[in-house]
Amino acid sequence: MSIEFVLINRSDMACIVPLLMELDPHIPKATIESRLALMVEQGYECVGIYDAGELIGICGIWVLVKYYVGRHLEPDNVYLRAAYQGQGIGAALQSWLEALAKSRDCDALELNCYVANTSGCEFWESVGYKRLGVHYQKILRVAT
């Protein structure tokens, strides 16, 4: 195994669509593609996780500023194919993200993880994140 973390060029962002479809199979491909294009316009970046050149995982990132935490890096849409889970890749990604956040003058890292994703919550807590609250959502319009 030869794992590498690489920021994907904006022009190559379509390469993450198949993994986003694995992450959320109920969302139509066209919807993912159109939303991804808007996200990139708004500053979304993505770290590709590669094994010998094959894309095996993704971690979206946002750099944001909020009054209560300051400038921070937010991992988003983190996904690693099942065959690669439990091999220390997530911990290595976390270290890579911390270094990136420091290089971008961030004060913290902050993320959302669904409460139903118990293994995800356990992972993030194991690498130093603290559970601060609950993420709420109110749907105003059903996407097509």
Domain tally for the chain? 1
Domain membership flag for residue 127: no
The string of DSSP letters for 70-85 reads: EEEEEEEEEEE-GGGT
Domain membership flag for residue 100: yes
Domain membership flag for residue 23: yes
Pairing of strands 70-80, 3-7: unpaired
> What are the tokens at 25?
């199979």
> What's the CATH number where 99 sits?
3.40.630.30
pLDDT band at 144 (very low <50, low <70, confident <90, very high): low
Mean pLDDT over 103-119 rounds to 94
Q: What local confidence, expressed as pLDDT, does residue 142 receive?
A: 81
Domain membership flag for residue 118: no
- What is the span of the domain harbouring residue 35? 3-110
Domain membership flag for residue 133: no
Residues 36-58 have pLDDT tens digits of: 999 999 999 999 999 999 999 99
Mean pLDDT over 16-30 rounds to 96
Give pTM, 2 decimals. 0.92
Distance of CA 75 to the CA centre of its chain: 4
Query: Considering only 46-50, 93-97, 137-141, which range has the smallest mean pLDDT?
Result: 137-141
Q: What local confidence, expressed as pLDDT, does residue 95 receive?
A: 97
Domain membership flag for residue 141: no
Domain membership flag for residue 139: no
